[in-house]
Structure 1
Amino acid sequence: MDLKAHQDWLIDFYKGRNWYQYSSAIRINYLTEEVGELSRAVRALEIGRDHPGEQQTMASKQRNLEEELADVLDQVLILCGKYDVDPKDLLRFSEEKLKQRFQTPH
């Protein structure tokens, strides 16, 4: 599945659950929550978590990281849908900006 196909599926899924109608301001709150969960997943991988009852293997930590990255991506894709932004354009914008900013002239 490519990025746009996933975005289309995701929007349909959210609409079916009556989640899509939330404003972008609320959606940013969800994105912030997911970034916090991603931060915790990275912390668990990098320095661990000293939490009683939490016995995670490296594989389960990696799986959690992937899940949280996906959750962040989904929130970005929903915002793209709200503003009619093709997610492929984000990839192009990113490359162009970095090339313009950091490529040295020949």
Structure 2
Amino acid sequence: MDINEHQQWLVKFYEKRDWFKYPPQDRVNYITEELGELSRAVRTIEVGRDHPGEKILNQAEKEDNLREEMADVIDQVLVLAAKYDIKPDELLEYSENKLKKRFNMDV
């Protein structure tokens, strides 16, 4: 799957749900919420959870939840990027160039 195509699909999906209208500062709040859920998923795998109101997950369910939360974080970043007309491949290139320059190395 191409990340730029996924971003376009997300924008259309969010527009149909009337979610794309929310301003960037709201989108950052959603990213924060998703990061919290990702943090909980990692903690569940690495440390465990002992909460009486939660179902005990097997390893496959824990790993599926981790993927779900990582995908949610990525999706929120992609929607925020679309709000500023930034393509995902531009972000990836920017990241690589920044690290190469900062650490004076090419991998």
Q: Report the TM-score, using the length of structure 2 for normalisation.
A: 0.93
Match of 2:13 in 1: 13
Aligned partner of 1:77: which letter?
L
Alpha-carbon deviation of 1:54? Answer: 2.3
1:1-106 pair list within 5 angstroms: 1-52=1-52, 53-103=54-104
CA–CA distance in 1 between the matches of 2:81 and 2:27? 11
Q: Quick one: distance in 1 between partners of 2:102 and 2:48?
A: 35
Q: Which runs of 5 or more residues in structure 1 are unaligned?
A: none
Structure 2, unmatched stretches of 5+, are none
The one-letter amino acid of 1:34's match is E
Instruction: Give, as a single letter, the amino acid of the residue that structure 2 aligns with 1:65.
Output: L
- The CA distance in 1 between the partners of 2:12 and 2:85, in whole Å, is 15
Greater shift in the superposed pair: 76-85 or 50-59: 50-59
**Normalised by the size of structure 1, how large is the TM-score?**
0.94
RMSD: 1.0
2:71 alignment partner AA: A
- SS of the counterpart of 2:50? coil
Between the aligned partners of 1:45 and 1:93, the Cα distance in structure 2 is 31
Question: 2:42 and 2:103 mapped to 1: Cα distance?
Answer: 27
Secondary structure at 1:85 match in 2: coil
Equivalents in 1 of 2:8, 2:63: separation in Å? Answer: 27
Deviation at 1:103, TM superposition (A): 3.0
